[in-house]
Amino acid sequence: MDVLERFTRESPPVSDGRRSAQLKVLHGLERFVAPAPLLSADGEAVRAFLNGRRDGGASAGTVRKERSVMTSFFTWAWREGLVTADALIAIRSIPVPEGSSGVAQPRPYKRWEIQELWRVLDERWARLAPEDAERWLRRWQEGRSPYSRVRSHAIHLQLEAVVVLALSCGVRRGEIYRCSVDDIHPDNAYISVRRSDGTIRELPHTGMARRAAGEWLDFRARVDPPHDRAWLNLWSENTITQPMTEHSFEKLLGSYLGRGWTFRRLRDTGAVEWLRAGLQVWHLQRMLGHRSMKDTLPYVEAAGGDVQRKLEQVERALPWSRTARQNVASG
C-alpha cells in the first residue's frame, strides 16, 4: 500500500476537503524529492521545498499551513516506525515562516544589484567567445577534448536563460522549471507557461528572453538529451543528458551564484521596472499571471506609484465627471 494511502486510512479522520488539501501538499513534496521516496525527505529537503514555495509567491500563511501538514505527516510516520526520531526532530525544527497571510509585498533588487548579478555570472561561469565555443564544442563532441573545457560555458548559458525568464518575463520558479524546449523556443511568438494545476498561459517573448533561450537551446541541441525538458544537470559529463531535478532547480541560484538571489525577487524586479517604464497595470497582471488585481497592486506601490493620485487624475478625464462637464459647457 502506498504510504499516502496508508496515511489516509490510519491517521485521525478529517473532513474530505482538509484531507484533499493535505494530500496536495504531500504530493508536492513527493514530486520535489523524486526519484527518492517521500519518507526519505529530511529537514533540509522540507526546508528547501517550503523556501521554494515562498519564492514562488506563496504567502507566509500558506507556507505555515503546509509546514503544519508535513509536521503532522512525519509525526504519524514516526509513530508508525517509518522514520527516525532524528528525522522528525529536524523537520519540527524548521522555523515557522514569519509575515502576513495577505498578499506578499514585492522586494525588487536595486539596479546596482542586478548589475552585480551579471558580474558574478560572468566571473564565476565565464562563457567562451563564439569562435572558441564552436571549436571546443566540436572537439568535445568528437572526443578530443574533456567536458571541463566547455562546462563553464554551458552553465553560463543555462543560468542566463533561467535568470532572464524570471527577470525579463516575470515567470515563477516552478513555471520555469516545468518548461519544455517547445515552451521557450525563440521561434515562437509566445512563451508557454505551465501552472502547477496543469493550465497554460502565454507570455510575449521578449527580445532578451528570445536571445538567452536561443543560445541555451542551441547548446542543448548539441548535447541531444533523450527528453524534452529544458534544463539539464550540467554538473558532470555523466549527468549532462539528464533533466535537472526540482530539488536542484530550487537551489540553482544559490548554488551557482551565491546566497541572496531568488527567483521571486528577480520576478519582482522585472515587474517593478516594467511599471516604471510605463507598462499599464492590467498588462502587468497578465504578465504575472495574477487572477486578481489585488495581487498586482502592491507592485504599483513598490514602483513608487500613488494609486489615489492616479485615480483622481483619471476621474477628472471621465466624460461623466464634474470637471469634464464644465469643460464642455465652457467650450
Name the band, by pLDDT with cuts 50, 70 and 90, for residue 144: very high
- In tens, the pLDDT along 187-217 reads 999 999 987 767 888 999 999 999 999 999 9
Question: In whole angstroms, how far apart are CA 63 and each of 182, 219, 331?
Answer: 32, 37, 59
Choosing from 92, 127, 144, the residue where a domain stops is 92
| CATH number, residue 136 | 1.10.443.10
Q: Which residue's C-alpha cell is 521545498?
A: 49
- pLDDT greater at residue 328 or residue 90: 90
> Do residue 12 and residue 119 come from a single domain?
no
pLDDT score of 185: 97
> Do residue 189 and residue 78 come from a single domain?
no
> Do residue 168 and residue 19 come from a single domain?
no
Domain limits for position 152: 111-269
Name the band, by pLDDT with cuts 50, 70 and 90, for residue 64: confident
What's the mean pLDDT when you consider all of the chain?
88
> Do residue 225 and residue 204 come from a single domain?
yes
What value does the mean pLDDT take over residues 264-281?
93
pLDDT score of 100: 46
Name the band, by pLDDT with cuts 50, 70 and 90, for residue 246: confident
pLDDT score of 98: 58
pLDDT score of 95: 82
Residue 262 pLDDT > 90, yes or no?
yes
Residue 279 pLDDT > 80, yes or no?
yes
Q: How many domains does the chain have?
A: 3
The verdict on residue 105 lying in a domain is no
> Do residue 213 and residue 69 come from a single domain?
no
DSSP secondary structure letters along 25-74 = HHHHHHHHHTTS-GGG--HHHHHHHHHHHHHTT--HHHHHHHHHHHHHHH
The verdict on residue 263 lying in a domain is yes
The verdict on residue 103 lying in a domain is no
> Do residue 247 and residue 284 come from a single domain?
no
- In tens, the pLDDT along 11-50 reads 878 788 888 889 999 999 999 999 899 999 998 899 888 8
Residue 324 pLDDT > 50, yes or no?
no
The verdict on residue 21 lying in a domain is yes
> Do residue 35 and residue 173 come from a single domain?
no
- Buried/exposed 278-310: b ≥16 CB within 10 Å, e otherwise: eeebeebbebbbbeeeebbbbbbebbebeeeee
> Do residue 316 and residue 180 come from a single domain?
no
DSSP secondary structure letters along 99-131 = S-SSPPPP-PPPHHHHHHHHHHHHHHSPPPPHH
Name the band, by pLDDT with cuts 50, 70 and 90, for residue 55: confident
pLDDT score of 307: 54
> Do residue 228 and residue 252 come from a single domain?
yes
Cα 285 → chain centroid: 17
The verdict on residue 101 lying in a domain is no
Choosing from 92, 122, 139, the residue where a domain stops is 92
The verdict on residue 128 lying in a domain is yes
